[in-house]
Amino acid sequence: MALSNEQLIAAANEFGTPVYVYEAEKIAEQYNKLTTAFSKTNARFFYACKALTNINILKYVQSLGANIDCVSIYEVRLALKAGFTPDRIMFTPNCVDFEEIVAGKDLGVHVNIDNIPMLEEFGNTFGNSYPICIRLNPHIMAGGNYKISTGHIDSKFGISIHQLRHVERIIESTKLNVVGLHMHTGSEIKDINVFLEGLDVMLDIAKRFPNLTFIDLGSGFKVPYKEDDVATDVDQLGSRVAKIFNDYQKEIGKELEVWFEPGKYLVSECGYFVVKANVIKTTTATVFVGVNSGFNHLIRPMFYEAYHFIENISNLSGPERIYTVVGNICETDTFAWDRKINEVRENDLLVFHNAGAYGFEMSSNFNSRLKPAEVLYLNNKAHLIRKRDTFEDLLKNEIEVL
């Protein structure tokens, strides 16, 4: 599934640019791929909503039957507002104060604790009265680059597997009821053996926790960003995980659920970011296309060196030229260097593909510029799901004292 250029142009004409456009049915397609791939395993999928938290996206994901993974108490509250029941919410905060963890507990969601001081305080405060999950750091380097790798030895995430004896002492002294173990090694993982290596580590550790009901392997499933790009083979992974889990469960005489937390995998390909070419600027070495956006709207290329396929949907038959696409921010905000794009003229519309995940979600008002609108195509109809900022939005929380 993919939105047509005509649909993207229509959205740009109706709602203006820049504009984020999402295709609901693509999210359903990705979710169905996962449920099919892991159909032989007792698997549950928790949408990592930090990728895109528009309430309409959350409601749509909820309607598909998915669960949700939250990393802040406000994401938890959004999930509840979207219709997720507490038993379908996993709460995995990092470096928060204890009150935020207690707030998650009070809302009745699955609480995932990723450091020893919080684990000890939770045990001393609540004992075995509330079941918890523990996030472990398996010391596995994985992911598209260092910034999105979360399971290596220097990561701030999780409790080191070499601190298990300390964890066991806390559990023994506080009577904590540990029902889940969690790990997440990173994003954009191409090699399924990374997941299998992590699973091997987790299953070995799981034998130490008699009350365990699930193992959460996080996610990191990669989607293609360009032609011939390698994606995670979820079908093969599902088959391998099913065999490993079935053999393990026969060995221990107990059935466990396996949980995954796909975020980018579900929403990346559903998203398109449409911008307008403001100016074509030729220098002694480079032809720049300056567009009416910047890293205030889409920071991934600058922050992660992420690739987004860029297409000129106003001039599909034009000859290919080589352009460097930049934004209108007073910083070096280069979206792409030396990219072949059909000839770009002023006011042409360019579309960035794979813009559903960590696009609008990481946007800002830097340079006092306005955040763009968001549009959802559902059943071939365009719905405005977030209004574009106005000037008044820049001032709404400010208090004038002068």
Tens digit of each residue's pLDDT (9 = 90 or more) over 354-389: 999 999 999 999 999 999 999 999 999 999 999 999
Q: What is the pLDDT of residue 192?
A: 85
Q: What is the pLDDT of residue 188?
A: 63
What is the full per-residue pLDDT of the chain (402 aa) written as tens digits? 689 999 999 999 999 999 999 999 999 999 999 999 999 999 999 999 999 999 999 999 999 999 999 999 999 999 999 999 999 999 999 999 999 999 999 999 999 999 999 999 999 999 999 999 999 988 774 444 444 344 456 678 889 989 999 999 999 999 999 999 999 776 567 788 888 888 888 898 999 999 999 999 998 888 999 888 888 999 999 999 999 999 999 999 889 999 999 999 999 999 999 999 999 999 999 999 999 999 999 999 999 999 999 999 999 999 999 999 999 999 989 999 999 999 999 999 999 999 999 999 999 999 999 999 999 999 999 999 999 999 999 999 999 999
pTM: 0.94
Q: Please say whether the dihedral angle defined by the alpha carbons of residues 142, 145, 149 and 152, taken in this order, is positive or negative.
A: positive
Exposure letters 25-55 (e unless 16+ CB within 10 A, then b):
bbbbebbebbeebbeebebbbbbbbbbbbbe
Which residues are catalytically annotated? Answer: 330
Q: What CATH superfamily classification does 271-395 receive?
A: Lyase, Ornithine Decarboxylase; Chain A, domain 1 (2.40.37.10)
CA distances from 174 to 117, 127, 287 (A): 13, 5, 65
**Any binding-site annotation on 331?**
yes
Q: What is the pLDDT of residue 142?
A: 46
Closest to 170 measured CA to CA, from 134, 201, 205, 217: 134
Domains of the chain, by residue range, sit at 38-264, 271-395
Q: What type of residue is 190?
A: K
Other beta carbons within 10 angstroms of residue 343's beta carbon come to 15
Q: What is the pLDDT of residue 194?
A: 82
Residue 164 makes CB contacts below 8 A (sequence gap 6+) with 205, 208
**Any binding-site annotation on 74?**
no
Q: How far apart are CA 306 and CA 302, in angstroms?
A: 7
Evaluate whether 38-264 and 271-395 have a shared fold. Answer: no
Largest CA distance in the chain: 72
Helix axes 24-37 and 55-64, enclosed angle (nearest 10): 40
Fold entry, domain 38-264: TIM Barrel (3.20.20)
Q: How far apart are CA 292 and CA 367, in angstroms?
A: 13
Residue 32 makes CB contacts below 8 A (sequence gap 6+) with none
Q: What is the pLDDT of residue 144?
A: 45
**Any binding-site annotation on 220?**
yes
